[in-house]
């Protein structure tokens, strides 16, 4: 492991300690080994000065507004699983409403008055919709069983629209195969068709956490440190593949990897390298401490670190989206408005100080803009029995 970067990380840790004060929130629900990493630290402030500055730039906010939004997002993240349990079969999804600074919960008309009172008294807004999340997920699952042509980009449940949204590439919408897929998708349940500018692609780079690593002639980015190694994207390497670091020295080996279907992997670390609970800010913001992995709701702010385009921020747009890459379909990804470029694959998505996931792929770039998907980190931890390295 390089000595200069570790010294830099150590300095970042010391600088951040002064900015992480006390601000209590409700804990996010978790069970088993995930509980410790998924619960936000009760004593942590919404974010460091660097993250607040990045939020101000990304969303045009004042510092006070950025602090208020991040604090409200933490409260919404803690409330979301409780609202889902309270709603039961009437639950139709939830999202963070940035205009009101609170969680909004969608309920079907058969939700009881007591359920509505419980959710409102906890601080959430309510929207009444026709279809439950169970019905929408069932419709999406039926679409997942279809074979998608390359002109179909992705599909997802959109709780705000109370429908399944199918994205097709704008200049491919008239293709017979695309029209046939859309027709069959509509038979599955409530479906809305939208267009996107380009087809999604993975962001590995040839021959050329956000820190870079190399597998053969492919460069990707480290996601998050776990005890014994780090997590990253599955399309970056197969089990048994060796990994070298930014300086060409041997890091370790891919111990597990899945792609397509999933897009996650984990790499063991040895040979003098070690793990630290930090995400690189690349000079745009200070390096960020990782304190847990509480899942941020749709609508929350989120930032990404990668070895090509470095640090960029945006918003969580959708969850449980099925993405149709040219290499195969990947399920249960989270969609964001954050840009990415080749080499950013596997890099870190973080909201405040909470790990969210590893970069999978997207469309566009960080000059003209685009959208990017990530594989949720808690799924990776659960799949391989890993523990997130947190401060």
Catalytic residues: 235, 263, 345
What is the SS3 string spanning the chain?
CCHHHHHHHHHHHHHHHCCCCCCCCCCCCCCHHHHHHHCCCCCCCCCCHHHHHHHHHHHCCCHHHHHHHHHHHHHHHHHHHHHHHHHHHHEEEEEEECCCCEEEEEECCCCCHHHHHHHHHCCCEEEECCCCHHHHHHHHHHHHCCCCCCCEEEEEEECCCCEEEEEEEHHHCCCHHHHHHHHHHHCCCCEEEEEECCCCEECCEECCCCCEEEECCEEEECCEEECCEEEECHHHCCCCCEEECCCCCEEEEEEEEECCECCEEEEECCCCCCCCCEECCECCECCEECCECCCCCCCCEEEEEECCCEEEEEEEEEEEEEEEECCEEEEEEEEECCCCCCCCCCCEEEECCEEEEEEEEEEEECCCEEEEEEEEHHHHHHHHCCCECCC
């Amino acid at each position: 492991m390089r000595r200069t970067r570790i010294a830099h990380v150590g300095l970042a840790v010391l600088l951040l300690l002064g900015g992480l004060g006390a601000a209590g929130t409700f804990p996010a629900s978790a069970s088993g080994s995930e509980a410790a990493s998924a619960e936000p630290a009760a004593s942590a402030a919404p974010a460091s000065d660097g993250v607040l500055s990045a939020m101000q730039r990304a969303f045009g906010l004042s510092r006070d507004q950025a602090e208020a939004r991040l604090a409200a997002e933490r409260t919404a993240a803690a409330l979301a699983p409780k609202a889902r349990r309270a709603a039961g079969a009437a639950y139709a999804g939830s999202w963070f409403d940035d205009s009101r600074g609170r969680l909004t919960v969608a309920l079907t008309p058969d939700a009881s008055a007591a359920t509505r009172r419980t959710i409102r008294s906890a601080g959430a807004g309510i929207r009444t919709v026709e279809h439950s999340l169970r019905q929408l997920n069932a419709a999406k699952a039926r679409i997942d069983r279809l074979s998608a042509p390359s002109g179909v980009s992705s599909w997802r449940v959109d709780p705000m629209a109370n429908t399944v949204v199918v994205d097709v590439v704008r200049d491919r919408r008239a293709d017979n195969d695309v029209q046939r897929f859309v027709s069959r998708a509509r038979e599955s349940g409530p479906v809305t068709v939208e267009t996107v500018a380009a087809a999604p692609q993975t962001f590995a780079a040839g021959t050329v956490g956000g820190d870079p690593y190399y597998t053969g002639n492919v460069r990707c980015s480290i996601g998050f440190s776990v005890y014994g190694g780090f997590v990253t994207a599955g399309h970056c390497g197969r089990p048994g593949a060796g990994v070298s670091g930014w300086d060409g020295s041997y890091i370790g080996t891919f111990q597990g990897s899945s792609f397509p279907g999933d897009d996650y992997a984990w790499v063991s670390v040895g040979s003098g390298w070690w793990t630290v609970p930090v995400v690189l800010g690349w000079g745009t913001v200070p390096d960020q401490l990782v304190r847990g992995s509480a899942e941020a709701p749709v609508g929350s702010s989120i930032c990404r670190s990668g070895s090509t385009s470095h640090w960029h921020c945006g918003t969580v747009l959708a969850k449980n989206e099925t993405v149709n890459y040219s290499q195969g379909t990947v399920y249960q990804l989270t969609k964001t408005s954050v840009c990415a470029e080749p080499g950013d694959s596997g890099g870190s998505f973080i909201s405040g100080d909470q790990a969210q996931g590893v970069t999978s792929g997207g469309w566009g770039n960080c000059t003209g803009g685009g959208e990017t998907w990530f594989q949720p980190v808690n799924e990776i931890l659960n799949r391989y029995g890993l523990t997130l390295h947190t401060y």
